[in-house]
Amino acid sequence: MKALRRIDDETAGMVLGLLGVAGFSLTLPVTRYAVEYFSPVFIGCGRGFVAALAALAYLILTRSRVPSRRDLVGLAVVAAGVVFGFPLMSAYAMLHVPSAHGAVMLGILPLATAFVGTLIAGERPSIPFWLAGIVGAGAVIVFAAIQNDAGGLHLADLALLGAVAAAAIGYAEGGRLSRTLGGWQVICWALVLSLPLLAVPTANEVFHLDFRAPTIAAWSGFLYLSLVSQFFAFFFWYRGLALGGIARVSQVQLLQIFLTLFASALMLNESVDATTIAFAVFVVATVAVSRKMPVRRTA
């Protein structure tokens, strides 16, 4: 019976994780479009501010209990990773590189999330799991290097790597907290705790913003980043990580590459060449293999 329950939890976790990834998949192309009209600071902090207001309203309506002092530390880590770190660094990167390039760079995020999960959530993936993940991560780094005219990694790539590190920490810690708090409570409280820090830079950006310049599509993209990428998608994502395990469910993120590449070509008319597709397919294949490898979950 316990084995059946575990299998059911893993299946539910994968489905919920996939729904979260579907919500995240438009983040880079929408950000790439929005930075033509808004500053990276406005996008990075403003989307969090709007999401925090929605989270505060949701917590009030549901009369959610206040987290314990112990949980507040973890929520602060989640906020640092997914409310501040990833949005700001990814918005800066989208000023300089196509979203298709960013999508493949984020291919190392599942491996990074699994690694952080072993440190903080008591998960123990097998050696074959890590070998497959390392091969995929290496392919992503090679892709980033050969895509640059000057060779090697440039500043935008470093920003994307920083975004990966921030997201991995925020995802793993959020998945751990979701086991006791619940998925939607984690992202809601992380956003509400961030509200005072988000208010000042957002107000400063609004003060200097020419509201006539952005198009309706740009404002729609900003709302998508605020209410889907930064809020509702996390409801599914964190619950999925809690049910199915951080290491295993995190591998679903590799499907995000294909969804993002397709969206980039459709929304931004970005060229997705054969090299990009080949690397994306190879990285997804390595993570598909790692998903079949054993992952032990301890208490």
Give the global pTM.
0.84
pLDDT higher than 50, residue 22: yes
Q: Lowest-pLDDT range, 22-26, 238-242, 263-267?
A: 263-267
Question: Which tops the pLDDT comparison, 201 or 275?
Answer: 201
Number of folded domains in the chain? 1
- How far apart are alpha carbons 28 and 220 in whole angstroms? 14
pLDDT band at 145 (very low <50, low <70, confident <90, very high): low
User: b/e string for 12-38 if b means 16 or more Cβ within 10 A?
Assistant: ebbbbbbbbbbbbbbbbbbbbbbbebb
Query: What is the distance between the alpha carbons of residues 42 and 241, in angstroms, rounded to a whole number?
Result: 29
Closest by Cα among 290, 282, 295, 294 to 251: 290
Residues 40, 93: Cα–Cα separation, whole Å: 9
pLDDT of 294 over the 80 cut: no
- Confidence class of residue 153 from pLDDT cuts 50, 70 and 90? low
User: Confidence band (pLDDT; 50, 70, 90) for 219?
Assistant: very high
Q: Which three-class secondary structure string do you get for 188-247?
A: HHHHHHHHHHHHHHHHHHHHHCCCCCCCHHHHHHHHHHHHHHHHHHHHHHHHHHHHHCHH
pLDDT at 297: 63
Residue 14 tokens, joined? 């994968």
Residue 192, phi-psi category: left (phi > 0), alpha (psi -120 to 50), beta (remainder): alpha
pLDDT higher than 50, residue 2: no
Region of poorest pLDDT, from 34-48, 167-181, 245-259, 265-279: 265-279
Q: In the predicted model, what is the mean pLDDT of residues 219-243?
A: 94
**pLDDT band at residue 259 using 50, 70 and 90 as cut-offs:** confident
Say whether pLDDT at 234 is over 90.
yes
Q: Which one, of 59, 22, 30, 60, lies nearest residue 47 by Cα? A: 30
Average pLDDT over residues 256-260: 77
Phi and psi dihedrals of 68, rounded to 5? -70, 165
The pLDDT of 163-176, averaged and rounded, is 93
Q: How confident is the model at residue 5 (pLDDT cuts 50, 70, 90)?
A: very low
- Compute the average pLDDT of residues 117-141: 81
For the cut 60, the answer to whether the pLDDT of residue 31 exceeds it is: yes
Mean pLDDT, range 95-117, rounded to an integer: 82
Q: Say what the pLDDT of residue 224 is.
A: 95
Domain with 254, as residue range(s), is: 2-297
pLDDT at 152: 53
> Of 48, 47, 53, 51, whose CA–CA distance to 35 is shortest?
47
- Distance of alpha carbon 207 from alpha carbon 197, whole angstroms: 17
167, burial (CB in 10 Å: exposed 0-12, middle 13-18, buried 19+) = buried
